[in-house]
Amino acid sequence: MVLRDAIRAVAGALFILLLGATIAGCATTGHATPTPQALTDRDGMTLYRYDKDKPGSKSSACHDGCSATWPPVPAANEGGKGFGSFMRSDGRRQLTYRGWPAYYYSGDDTPGDMNGDDIGGEWHVIRRE
């Protein structure tokens, strides 16, 4: 009887740990959940948008030193609802989401980092809608 109760307690704790890990994984990878989540690339790196860009303009307001800190997300096989691309003035193709050019932040080191959100009040995590 005591062994059975111990096994149940351990199984219950394990279930809660696994459920917590699953929920945390969804929050950082952009999987569908009831609230909009951060858009990420295949490796889980967060994508950002810049307020100085104009959605749908097929151009970027981030060049030179700006693009060293905020590298453009390269476009390759950008299929999917809301995704597109455009050719930058430097000849590289950049990914867009809902018309907004997409960028990485050089201060993000690991998947799920969102260190660039709201920098200068102009850079924002792209939320999947």
SS3 labels along the chain: CHHHHHHHHHHHHHHHHHHHHHHHHHHHHCCCCCCCEECECCCCCECEEECCCCCCCCCCCCCCHHHHHCCECECCCCCCCCEEEEECCCCCEEEEECCEECECCCCCCCCCCCCCCCHHHCEEECEEC
pLDDT digits (tens, 9 = 90+) for 9-22: 544 544 443 334 33
Residue 74's pLDDT is 95
pLDDT digits (tens, 9 = 90+) for 28-61: 333 333 446 999 999 999 999 999 999 999 999 9
> Which band of pLDDT confidence, cut at 50, 70 and 90, is reported for residue 129?
confident
pLDDT digits (tens, 9 = 90+) for 94-114: 999 999 999 999 999 999 999
